[in-house]
Amino acid sequence: MTKPSSREPDHRPFAFVLFGGTGDLAMRKILPALYAAHRDGLLAPDGRIVSVAQTALDTSSYLRWVDEHVKPYIPGTAIDDSVWRSFRERIAYVALDASQPDAFSLLSDTLGAGRGRRIFYLATGPALFVPICRALASVGLTEGSRVVLEKPLGYDLDSSNAINDAVGQIFNEDQIYRIDHYLGKEAVQNLLALRFGNSLFEPLWRREWVESIQITVAEELGVEGRGNFYDQTGALRDMVQNHLLQLLSIIAMEPPQSMEADAVRDEKLRVLRALKPLLGEEIRQSVVRGQYHAGAIKDTTVCAYHAESGVRQGSTTETFVALKVEVENWRWAGVPFFLRTGKRLAGRIAEIVVNFKPVPHSALGAVALRPGSNRLTIRLQPNESIRLSALAKQPGMGMTLQGVHLDLAFDQFFQQDRMEAYQRLLLDVIAGRLALFVRRDEQEAAWRWVAPIIEDWATQGSLPKPYASGTWGPAAASALLARHNTCWQEEEN
């Protein structure tokens, strides 16, 4: 049977079981995304949502919780009351302790027999992934089902492998959906379309024409009450190992034979395996880690990381990482990829910047030789867009060059509403499309690459460099690029 595309209604029945149904992720992302899919007519009429959590609620009281906590995060226009009521009718609630296998018979009774596909979304801490999967198997709920695993999937390569091994004994690989919501963003999808749907850029997408590539994911927020979790994780594990390396693999991958799941993921894996290892002194030269101190975000004073609730006294956990990465293959040899992510930075932005090489000789002045004069900026957030920057002649006498740009602002060009990342990914899970989810060997390759950095930080005892909240991170991150005659592109209007 042909699987429907992300914008086509899928009328096959399903049961979407959301573990962690009263958690932050369910409230902010998952339930709003399911509502948007319901509103747009993309869910089967008899598709059900079963929220599971330890909180002692019945379905009626849980629906009141949904009214209060989920509605504020619904994307788009005003909520239609009749659509909201029909969405609520899909939802049931089961109170159980996910660490107690005996309690899962109640979930089995709620789901009943038949009723189509079962999707188990584990929006819980990773410590519960294996117990939940084993409990589901004990009550016969895993056959033909799908399981969605949220990050972080483990703390390092060994713990990640332990989880994958245990889950893999219960679910086949094609039943496991390791979610990375950046892969569902419209601009990332358009990066694939830009590269593989047009002949314009492909000849330039290589070392002969590209001088450097930057990937930035910056947040203004701090740990936001998640100090206990974040202090055990840090920016390298939380962002680099998954989001940033996934974005890098999409930028650098070879054209896949098709857009089928394994064709795309095979090419991403080749990039991850081609990453030049960072070892010993190379780590000190190519990696900058930092930790935010007190400062101001939009004229509001904010505290230092070590003063956040749940953070250990004297913590050396990094809240900022910048790296220079190289891909050792024919297409990209010698091209530096600069990755940067951090909390409490000067702006909330996620973007990819492809800096093309300047002309080899300029008859029009030194400006044509300036690095970054020709660049492609793919903005992922807050406003998804693609900008091509070039040089043009200023009006008037003489031949004075000035930077200009061509913009594709998706919200202005396309009349239909854009699909949020979680909505697209949840619809893909329901329909059984794996292309936008991370395969186990991809995840292992990413963990294997970051492992020497984690080990070096632990053994060398070096401290993260301080940076004031509201800035763009430690000065060493700018020096990292200056050594390559370039600089970070800061936020453009």
pLDDT in tens, 80-120: 999 999 999 999 999 999 888 888 999 999 998 666 799 99
What CA–CA distance (Å, rounded) separates 429 from 425? 6
Long-range contacts of 37-40 (CB under 8 A, 24+ apart): 37/423, 37/426, 37/427, 38/83, 38/86, 38/87, 38/90, 39/76, 39/80, 39/83, 39/87, 40/417
Please determine, for residue 361, whether its predicted confidence score (pLDDT) is greater than 90.
no
What CA–CA distance (Å, rounded) separates 386 from 378? 5
Count of Cβ atoms closer than 10 Å to residue 402 Cβ: 10
What CA–CA distance (Å, rounded) separates 303 from 296? 9
Please report, to the nearest 10 degrees, the dihedral formed by the alpha carbons of residues 466, 468, 473, 476 taken in order.
-50
Give all domains of the chain, ordered by start, each with its CATH number.
14-150 (3.40.50.720), 183-262+271-419+440-482 (3.30.360.10)
Q: So what's the pLDDT on residue 400? A: 72
Q: So what's the pLDDT on residue 151? A: 82
Known catalytic residues are 243
The tokens describing 220, both together, are: 């203004």
pTM: 0.90
Residue 484 contacts residue 336 (beta carbons within 8 Å): yes
Q: So what's the pLDDT on residue 6? A: 46
Please determine, for residue 10, whether its predicted confidence score (pLDDT) is greater than 70.
no
The tokens describing 287, both together, are: 């990696």
**Mean pLDDT, rounded, for 269-281:** 96
Residue 452 contacts residue 287 (beta carbons within 8 Å): no
Please determine, for residue 491, whether its predicted confidence score (pLDDT) is greater than 80.
no
Q: Which of 316, 315, 377, 311 is nearest to 350 (CA)?
A: 377
Count of Cβ atoms closer than 10 Å to residue 2 Cβ: 5
Give backbone dihedrals phi and psi of 352, rounded to 5 degrees, phi first: -120, 130
3-state secondary structure of 482: helix
Q: So what's the pLDDT on residue 144? A: 92
In one-letter notation, the amino acid at residue 77 is: T
**Mean pLDDT, rounded, for 435-455:** 95
Q: Average pLDDT over the chain, rounded to whole? A: 90
